[in-house]
Amino acid sequence: AQTVTQSQPEMSVQEAETVTLSCTYDTSENNYYLFWYKQPPSRQMILVIRQEAYKQQNATENRFSVNFQKAAKSFSLKISDSQLGDTAMYFCAFIKAQGGSEKLVFGKGTKLTVNP
Amino acid sequence: ETGVTQSPTHLIKTRGQQVTLRCSSQSGHNTVSWYQQALGQGPQFIFQYYREEENGRGNFPPRFSGLQFPNYSSELNVNALELDDSALYLCASSSVGHYGYTFGSGTRLTVV
pLDDT of residue B95: 85
CB contact under 8 A, A47 and B100: yes
pLDDT for B49 beyond 80: yes
A115: helix, strand or coil: strand
In the prediction, which pLDDT does B71 show?
A: 87
SS3 B84: helix
Phi, psi of B73 (to 5 degrees): -70, 170
Predicted confidence (pLDDT) per residue in A60-108, tens digit: 999 999 999 999 999 999 999 999 999 999 999 999 877 667 899 999 9
Neighbours of B64 (CB within 10 A): 18
- Residue B23 sits at the vertex; the CA angle it makes with B99 and B35, to the nearest 5 degrees, is 55
The residue that leads in pLDDT, B27 or B106, is B106
* Interface probe, candidates A3, A29, A43, A49, chain B, greatest B C-beta count within 10 A: A43
pLDDT tens-place string over residues B56-68: 999 999 999 999 9
Q: For A106, which of B33, B42, B105 is closest by C-beta distance?
A: B42
Residue type, B91: C
